[in-house]
Structure 1
Amino acid sequence: MDVTLHLAQDPEADALLGRSALAALIGMLLDQQVPMEWAFKGPATIARRMGADDLDAHEIAARQPEEFVALLSEKPAVHRYPGAMAKRVQQLCQYLVEHYDGDPEAVWRDVTDGRELLKRLQDLPGYGEQKARIFLALLGKQLGVTPKGWREAAGAYGEPKSYRSIADITGPESLAKVRAHKQEMKAAAKAERAAKAGR
């Protein structure tokens, strides 16, 4: 991997995301219940605190859990829930070591079918269906991973210029469009709940 991503909105953190498949997978894992930029800065923060320029699945998997929790909890914390997320990051790395010899790009390197890739992503610890579809769309739209049927497997996130998720963020303008879409979705969900409550 050697691309330019704009998810952390921070040059150093984005550079790591663009060259490290593991950083991108961990950033996606952290992207819940915190602002996107905070989540995607996480991998660079973890690497820096481990005294490394890059992330290694074997090294993270082998860390003592208490030590890794402390590393993510150090101020400023890597996530709003550093303890829970430290456990998830380690589980992800342990899975990669066990199933892919610690090579995260092996998750998608030889896959020729979008549905198979979606299944592999959903099998990753901490990746539900939605997270797997979004990451699949990111792979297809920005990282050049385009197995047959990848757009269909990614669902609405795979549609060209849909601006529904991080898969479409390439700079400030597209970030604003994705944020606007998310606000619209929240407003629609809120209106739906209010309508149901009023019945």
Structure 2
Amino acid sequence: MLRELHLTGNPDADKLLNDDPFALLVGMLLDQQYPMEHAFSGPLKIANRMDGFDLHKIAATDLETFVELCVTPPAIHRYGGSMARRVHALAQEIIEKYDGETENIWLSGRPKPDGAEVLKRLKSLPGFGEQKAKIFLALLGKQRGVAPKGWREAAGSYGDRGSRRSIADVTDAASLGEVRNFKKAAKAAAKQAAGA
């Protein structure tokens, strides 16, 4: 089922995420050591500085020029320079491997890719590790109507129905708070386990 995304608290940022799969992928890329809603607002910051958000334009922009654009306050991320390099590399990867169409990550191929294959493709993207790939797969399945066979299993606990553990479960301000509380509790438990 395709849900309208409400991830940032900013209607313009959310509209871009709804309209452009590459923007959503970039938001996921930026969702690291940075508040979720700010990470997913990053694509709008880029769009505002580049006269629109365009994967091909990003890939074609000189790397240092693009980095400068991304670190200009308000920066796209706490680590604006390194994240800008990853966004640039991600754009180039999608052009080279997926014909410039982000959806091809989860749609291209015969037979159509299953959940395990989509997860493998996501994990191979610049800036995406196992956890980030699973969360994005869960976001696609839970909110974007992208449900390749076995996606819940491939996404692990992030694919669980009714969970509140990641951006995949954020549908409004209340669920954002629940996810934030879950993450805080998980971090505290990990800290306690490390100290034990």
**TM over 0.5: same fold?**
yes
Does the 8 Å contact 2:3/2:145 carry over to 1? Answer: no
8 Å CA contact retained: 1:3, 1:19: no
TM-score, normalised via structure 2 length:
0.95
Question: How many Å separate the matches in 1 of 2:193 and 2:3?
Answer: 40
1:66 aligns with 2:31: no
Note the C-alpha offset of 1:3. 4.8
User: How big is the shift at 1:192?
Assistant: 0.7
The higher relative CO (CA closer than 8 Å, separation ≥ 6) is in 2
Name whichever of 2-11 and 86-95 sits farther off. 2-11
Structure 1 unpaired stretches of 5+: none
Q: How many equivalent pairs are there? A: 192
CA contact (8 A) 2:94 2:100 kept: yes
- 1:119-134 alignment to 2 at 5 Å? 119-134=120-135
Q: Hey, what's the Cα distance between the residues in 2 that align with 1:99 and 1:112?
A: 15
In structure 1, what residue type is equivalent to 2:134?
A: R
Residue type of the alignment partner of 1:81: Y
Distance, in Å, in 1 between the alignment partners of 2:6 and 2:105 is 22
% same residue? 57
Q: 1:60 & 1:124 partners in 2: Cα distance?
A: 16
Which residue of 2 is the match for residue 172 of structure 1? 173
Which position in structure 2 is the counterpart of 1:88? Answer: 86
AA in 2 matched with 1:7: L
Equivalence map 1:134-145=2 (5 Å): 134-145=135-146
Shift of 1:140: 0.2
Question: Where does residue 14 of structure 1 map in the other structure?
Answer: 14
Q: How does 1:1-199 map to 2 (within 5 A)?
A: 3-52=3-52, 55-110=53-108, 111-195=112-196
Amino acid at match of 1:8: T
Unaligned runs of 5+ residues in structure 2 are none
Listed one character per residue, the Cα deviations across residues 113-159 of structure 1 (whole Å, up to 9, x for unaligned) are 11011011111111000000000000000000001100000000000
**How far did 1:21 drift?**
0.2
Report the Cα distance in structure 2 between the residues aligned to 1:182 and 1:81, rounded to whole angstroms.
21
Post-superposition Cα deviations, 1:13-46, rounded to whole Å, max 9, x if no partner, equal: 0010011100000000011111111111100110
Q: CA deviation at 1:106?
A: 1.0
Structure 1 position 172, deviation (Å): 1.3
Cα distance in 2 between the residues matched to 1:112 and 1:96? 17
Alpha carbons 2:6, 2:170 under 8 Å: kept: yes
